[in-house]
């Protein structure tokens, strides 16, 4: 079983989905710690309810981003973490740490990358009148939301939907897809080789989800 660290900044709904999957043995791994840069994140309360070790690393208490990253790295080393999952973690990590964990750190991003890296993806979809929206899971690289894509899930954008409506529907995809991908990584079916995502078992169920259209 792989030792997993989940990094969060907000509500932690994906953290709960991962924890539930671990408890149901749907992930061949365990959450060793939850790290948040936000002491007020509701995800910390979720972690407590789930009896998970939680650590707050407030970015405001560091002189620069490098010191913050060093503290994150120190915890990951101390906890002997094998897989780092950024699930709603709203801090950009520097090259030093992303290079060190390249192939062992994944991120969940609420858009169909390469569309809309960064923030406010739901609003951008509405503004641009896109027909589709979705979520991407990718390996983390130094470039923002630009690492090799592992899996994507998509939905059709409904008429008169708001950004809040889309966010709720996207969360449903995230809670299904992220635990699946984590498990496949833990058992060695998904891995990174020469900057490309490889699938050991070509018949992996839903290794790339094309649609969850409702």
Which residues are catalytically annotated? 109
Separation in Å, CA 108 to CA 73, 85, 190: 20, 8, 16
Separation in Å, CA 41 to CA 7, 9, 10, 195: 11, 6, 5, 33
DSSP H stretches of helix in 101-151: 121-127
Burial class (CB in 10 A: 0-12, 13-18, 19+), 213: exposed
Rounded CA-CA distance 93/65 in Å is 8
Rounded CA-CA distance 99/69 in Å is 12
């Amino acid at each position: 079983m792989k030792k997993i660290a989940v990094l969060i900044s907000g509500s932690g709904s994906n953290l709960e989905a991962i924890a539930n999957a671990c408890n149901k043995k749907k992930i061949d791994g365990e959450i060793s710690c939850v790290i948040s840069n936000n002491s007020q994140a509701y995800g910390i309360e979720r972690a407590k309810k789930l009896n998970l070790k939680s650590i707050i690393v407030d970015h405001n208490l560091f002189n620069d981003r490098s010191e913050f990253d060093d503290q994150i790295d120190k915890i990951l080393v101390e906890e002997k973490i094998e897989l780092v999952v950024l699930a709603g973690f709203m801090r950009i990590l520097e090259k030093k740490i992303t290079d060190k964990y390249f192939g062992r750190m994944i991120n969940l991003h609420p858009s169909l990358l390469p569309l809309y890296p960064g923030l406010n993806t739901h609003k951008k979809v509405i503004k641009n009148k896109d027909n589709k929206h979705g979520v991407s899971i990718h390996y983390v690289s130094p470039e923002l939301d630009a690492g090799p894509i592992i899996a994507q899930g998509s939905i059709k954008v409904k008429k008169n939907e708001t950004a809040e409506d889309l966010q709720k529907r996207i969360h449903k995809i995230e809670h299904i897809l992220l635990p699946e991908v984590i498990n496949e990584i833990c058992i060695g079916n998904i891995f990174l080789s020469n900057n490309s995502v490889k699938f050991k078992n070509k018949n992996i169920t839903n290794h790339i989800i094309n649609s969850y259209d409702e």
